[in-house]
Structure 1
Amino acid sequence: MKFAHRSEQEFARLLDFYDIKWLYEPVSFDICWDHKGNPTSKFTPDFYLPEYNLFIEITTMNQKLVTKKNRKIKRLSELYPEVKCKIYYRRDYEHLLFKYNISLDDSGHEILP
């Protein structure tokens, strides 16, 4: 499977290790429309965990892009209150790497112990 970012690939490996079923970018939610009702902006969470009815968004980007993504997630919760979406920021992701003893080099590739 082709992931948009290495962090998503590592997160998928962690889910697989714990035998947690997941889907990658299974749905896009319309979050903004033009005056004719055509969607102009969508939000596509990275993962869906069907057993938990939970979407996961991994963001390890710079702060400017994180702010934009936070706005999209806020809009998602306003429009679709029944949709549960958890965001993992860079610090959360780094904590997972540390907790599960996964080391990455500067380019995001795993370094084996």
Structure 2
Amino acid sequence: MTQAKIRQPDAAESTGQAALLDGKADFAHPSEAEFARILDFYQIAWQYEPHTFTLRRHADGTPAERFTPDFYLPELGLYVELTTLKQSLVTRKNRKMRRLRESHPDIKIKLLYGRDYRSLLFKYGLTSPTGETTSEPPDDEPTDAE
């Protein structure tokens, strides 16, 4: 499994491929690192931004629009894309997801909206009810209080 390391996105990136630093995924957002920790805990194999899909091309054949899903789960043959709370980003990702499904109907992809992601974190004890992350891995042992 790959260990998480956060990176600041570089506006000059053109391929959408994630860099690996010392064998650690170079995540664009802390939510991606947290999601990777959940996958690691449950021993679900994952790849971070392994593929970039062309959604539209210019008349000369060069890519006009591309999309790089956040995660690929090879054992499930499933891509996962995480969203944020910003409506402008959600709208843009929904459009890209629609175009991906139109241009690549064989690709399985799941979009996790902010509310879905927060519910997942809360379910596994990684956030408080206020949404603050605990930075602790999920606990698979029930407590006496349960």
Aligned to 1:111: 134
How far off is 1:112 after superposition? 5.3
Matches within 5 A, 1:70-85: 70-85=94-109
Choose the corresponding residue for 1:57, options 63, 73, 81: 81
Greater share of helix: 1
Task: Write the distance in 1 (CA, Å) between the matches of 2:133 and 2:89.
Answer: 25
Aligned to 2:35: 11
Aligned to 2:58: 34
Task: Write the distance in 2 (CA, Å) between the matches of 1:32 and 1:112.
Answer: 39
Residue by residue over 1:72-97, the C-alpha shift from the partner in whole angstroms, topping out at 9 and shown as x without a partner, is 00000001000000000000011011
The AA in structure 2 aligned to 1:66 is V
Change (3 A) 1:41 1:112: closer
Task: Write the distance in 2 (CA, Å) between the matches of 1:28 and 1:112.
Answer: 30
Choose the corresponding residue for 2:93, options 69, 89, 93: 69
Choose the corresponding residue for 1:20, options 13, 32, 44: 44
Question: Which ranges in structure 2 are unaligned for 5 or more consecutive residues?
Answer: 1-24, 137-146
| 1:2 alignment partner, SS class | strand
The AA in structure 2 aligned to 1:95 is S
Is contact 1:45-1:57 (8 Å) kept?
A: yes
- Equivalent residue pairs, number: 111
How far off is 1:110 after superposition? 3.7
Question: Which ranges in structure 1 are unaligned for 5 or more consecutive residues?
Answer: none
The AA in structure 2 aligned to 1:111 is T
RMSD value, Cα: 1.9
How far off is 1:41 after superposition? 0.9
Is contact 1:60-1:90 (8 Å) kept?
A: yes
Scaled by the length of structure 2, the TM-score of the pair is 0.71
